[in-house]
């Protein structure tokens, strides 16, 4: 260790690491809170805060300037150094398997956005929003990518909060009602395929076929849907058209979802959201403020158009 590294293990150094987390949320050329405000938030003395600021300046993480009665301003900050000193470490995000070009584009955009933000970032791929959420709650991952529809429900039920909503068509392009040719939604005795690992798909399917008592639900993974239809094991399902393109044929019709409520659910299902644990609120704030959301969508669009190679 260098002498500076050792100093970050002292009492003043610990305060500097905590201060680094707070300073991740400050833009250059903005006035910093007063020393006593920082001291109150960190639960330390004013002298400790002043020493912590000096440590961060010596580490070239920040540059500040006193402007008389206007206060002290953050002239410059290096987010990568601040992040390293903060002890937040590499953020691990869980997202769906990259089986569609849209997911590959999303992973590419996220990787790029975190790189620009100066935050070390890695992705692990897990099937099913439920499995990803369990990993988040168990502390195995720091962030989870899922639909805004699923995120809204989880925020109501668990100590998690929204980090970012990436906007329509970032999670899936569109949903449709896939129906065996010659049948329609009112056909009696329909066999409807449902993936119980996907809360989004299950809820949409149940909404489309609400109050139908003659439905037979056929459990099938989204990766098996093509085979289910090819082997005549199901007549209908609600699914992302991104994922269905590879196996749609003349024997399967794509129909609109129907009522306004279902379309609203489908819209929220199409938007990618990032959630994190509420107990990591300061780190989440640092991520939220640093991410360039339009850049994520831009990278994803370039991957979808073939203008950028997937990289994640």
Q: Write a three-state SS string for 117-142.
A: HCCCEEEEECCCHHHHHHHHHCCCCC
Q: Which of 68-77, 88-97, 256-265 has the lowest mean pLDDT?
A: 256-265
Domain coordinates in residue numbering, the chain: 3-78, 91-171+272-304, 175-268
Decide if pLDDT at 2 tops 70.
no
Mean pLDDT, the chain, integer? 87
CATH 2.40.160.100 fits 3-78, yes or no: no
**pLDDT on residue 262:** 65
pLDDT for position 229: 87
User: Does the pLDDT value for residue 62 go beyond 60?
Assistant: yes
Contacts of 142 (CB under 8 A, 6+ apart): 91, 92, 93, 136, 276, 277, 280, 283
Global pTM reads 0.74
First to last CA, the chain: 32
Evaluate the CA torsion angle 169, 171, 173, 176 in order and state its sign.
Answer: negative
pLDDT tens-digit map of 152-194: 989 999 999 999 999 988 998 878 889 999 898 889 999 999 9
- Beta strands 236-240 and 175-180 are antiparallel
**74 within 8 A of 55, measured Cβ to Cβ:** no
Phi (first) and psi of residue 145, to 5 degrees: -105, 125
User: Under CATH, which number does the domain 175-268 receive?
Assistant: 3.40.190.10
| Mean pLDDT of all residues in 286-311 | 90
Distance CA 308, CA 94 (A): 22
Residues 6+ apart with CB under 8 A from 63: 57, 74, 75, 76, 77
Of 9, 283, 305, 293, the C-alpha closest to 120 is 283
Burial of 274 (0-12, 13-18, 19+ CB in 10 A): buried
Answer yes or no: same fold for 91-171+272-304 and 175-268.
yes
Instruction: Return all residues near 125 (Cβ < 8 A) that are at least 6 apart.
Output: 94, 95, 96, 97, 98
pLDDT, tens digit (0-9, with 9 covering 90-100), for 228-273: 888 899 999 988 777 777 677 788 888 877 775 566 777 788 899 9
Q: What is the pLDDT of residue 138?
A: 95
Quickly state the pLDDT bin for 49 (edges 50, 70, 90).
very high
Query: What's the pLDDT tens digit per position in 10-48?
Result: 888 999 999 998 898 788 889 999 999 999 999 999 999
* pLDDT value, residue 246: 67
The rounded distance, in Å, linking the Cα atoms of 125 and 96 is 5
Counting residues of the chain whose pLDDT is more than 70, the rounded percentage is 95
Mean pLDDT for 100-128 is 91
91-171+272-304: CATH homologous superfamily? Answer: Periplasmic binding protein-like II (3.40.190.10)
């Amino acid at each position: 260790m260098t002498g500076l590294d050792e100093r970050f293990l002292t009492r003043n150094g610990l305060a500097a690491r905590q201060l680094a987390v707070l300073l991740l949320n400050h833009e250059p050329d903005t006035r910093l809170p007063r020393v006593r405000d920082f001291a109150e938030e960190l639960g330390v003395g004013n002298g400790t805060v002043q020493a912590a600021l000096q440590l961060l300046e010596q580490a070239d993480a920040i540059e500040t300037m006193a402007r008389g009665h206007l206060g002290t301003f953050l002239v410059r900050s290096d987010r990568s150094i601040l992040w390293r000193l903060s002890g937040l470490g590499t953020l691990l995000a869980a997202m769906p398997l990259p089986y569609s070009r849209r997911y590959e584009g999303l992973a590419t955009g996220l990787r790029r956005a975190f790189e620009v933000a100066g935050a070390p970032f890695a992705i692990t791929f897990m099937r099913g929003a439920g499995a990803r959420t369990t990993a988040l709650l168990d502390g195995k991952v720091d962030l989870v990518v899922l639909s805004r529809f699923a995120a809204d429900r989880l925020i109501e039920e668990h100590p998690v909060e929204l980090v970012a909503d990436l906007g329509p068509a970032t999670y899936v392009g569109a949903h449709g009602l896939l129906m065996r040719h010659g049948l329609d939604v009112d056909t009696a005795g329909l066999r409807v395929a449902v993936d119980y690992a996907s809360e989004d798909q299950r809820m949409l399917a149940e909404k489309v076929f609400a109050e139908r008592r003659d439905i037979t639900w056929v459990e099938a993974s989204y990766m098996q849907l093509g085979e289910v239809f090819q082997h005549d094991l199901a007549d209908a399902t609600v699914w992302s058209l991104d994922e269905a393109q590879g196996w749609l044929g003349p024997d399967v019709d794509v129909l609109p979802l129907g009522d306004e409520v279902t379309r609203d659910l489908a819209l929220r299902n199409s938007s990618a959201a990032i959630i994190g644990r509420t107990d990591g609120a300061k780190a989440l704030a640092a991520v939220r403020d640093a991410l360039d959301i339009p850049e994520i969508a831009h990278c994803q669009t370039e991957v979808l158009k073939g203008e950028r190679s997937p990289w994640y």
